[in-house]
Amino acid sequence: MTSIPSAGGDESLGRFSRAADTASTEVIRTYSTSFGLATKLLGSRHRQHVRNIYAMVRIADEIVDGVAAQAGLDTSAQTEALASYVAATHRSMVVGYSTDLILHAFARTARECGIGEDLTQPFFDSMGADIASATDFTAYDADAHERYVYGSAEVVGLMCLRVFLRDESRTEEELAVLTHGARQLGAAFQNVNFLRDLADDTDRLQRGYLGGSGRLTDSDRDEWVRTVTAQLDDARRSIPLLPKDARAAVRSALALFEALMRRVAKTPAAQLYERRVRVPDPIKALLAARAVAVTALERDR
């Protein structure tokens, strides 16, 4: 594992920061084989930063998606736990230190890469909306869906983009394309996850992220497939503008979600409420290898 260089020369702080990086890496290893694989394709200057972002948002997501409730916290206590996490995150971003290893790692990434509350607060707002909907079934209309997806996913793509571009120079036009691509990729990932998690979201979490309280029909599924396909196409167009040591990872993640989308498109909507669509590990490995091969043939930026 390549750690972010420790701040200053103090060995105690360096040791603590390395432990924080290790904790973040363990979070992504535990929760996501797909994103864990993608981060391995990143250049060493990006890899740990992206893992640190993933770990911070994953912990927040777990607060609202069942872990806190399973631990015995009611809705009020979950709200308090999230508020405490938000305050601790933002405090750590200001001072560059936290007693929480995950937040310490994230704070160092945020400060080095220019990630501010303009991106973290919308994310936490979407997480808070999940707590607010915990007691009754919540059906998201188009506007609510758009707000939720921006906060829960698009801003995470923008955080990663700030990591990739922190040592880079791009024109205003290029930045506009990259920003749009990062948002579209985040939105596509989230919408695919909504489709493949229909059973859990509907039955356990009592949420209808894809609009309406009724069950999706095959026609509804097809419309979402078209939406996600367009989002992925937009994101793909921005990849050549990324630094070369970020492209293979982004291509690999995009290809994985395209593969998921193809499987969703072939699955009757009724079955999406019964089982989670997956891509076998050998296919994931093949998609990653192809992403590496394509990127190797490209010129550096």
> Which pLDDT value is given to residue 132?
66
Amino acid in the structure at residue 173: E
Neighbours of 64 (CB within 10 A): 24
Please check whether residue 161 is in contact with residue 182, taking contact to mean a CB–CB distance below 8 angstroms: yes
Please check whether residue 208 is in contact with residue 129, taking contact to mean a CB–CB distance below 8 angstroms: no
> Which pLDDT value is given to residue 4?
56
Cα separation of the two ends of the chain: 25
If DSSP states are collapsed to H, E and C, what string results for the chain? CCCCCCCCCCHHHHHHHHHHHHHHHHHHHHHCHHHHHHHHCCCHHHHHHHHHHHHHHHHHHHHHCCHHHHCCCCHHHHHHHHHHHHHHHHHHHHHCCCCCHHHHHHHHHHHHHCCCHHHHHHHHHHHHHHHHCCCCCEECCHHHHHHHHHHHHHHHHHHHHHHHHCCCCCCHHHHHHHHHHHHHHHHHHHHHHHHHCHHHHHHHCCEECCCCCCCCCHHHHHHHHHHHHHHHHHHHHHHHHCCHHHHHHHHHHHHHHHHHHHHHHCCCHHHHCCCCCCCCHHHHHHHHHHHHHHHHCCCCC
From first to last of its 301 residues, the chain has per-residue pLDDT tens of 445 554 445 789 999 999 999 999 999 999 988 888 899 999 999 999 999 999 999 999 999 988 888 899 998 999 999 999 999 999 999 999 999 999 999 999 999 999 999 999 999 999 999 886 556 777 888 899 999 999 999 999 999 999 999 999 999 999 999 999 999 999 999 999 999 988 888 777 778 888 766 789 999 999 999 999 999 999 999 999 999 999 999 999 999 999 999 999 999 999 999 999 999 999 999 999 999 999 999 988 7
Q: What are phi and psi of 269, to 5 degrees?
A: -55, -40
Token digits for 115? 């990630």
d(CA 277, CA 264): 7
d(CA 76, CA 257): 35
d(CA 27, CA 136): 30
Q: What angle do CA 207, 68, 151 make, to 5 degrees?
A: 50
> Which pLDDT value is given to residue 7?
47
d(CA 242, CA 227): 24
> Which pLDDT value is given to residue 52?
98
> Which pLDDT value is given to residue 24?
97
> Which pLDDT value is given to residue 137?
77
> Which pLDDT value is given to residue 135?
60
Q: What length does the chain have?
A: 301
Token digits for 112? 């080095």
Domains and CATH numbers, the chain: 11-116 (1.10.600.10), 136-301 (1.10.600.10)
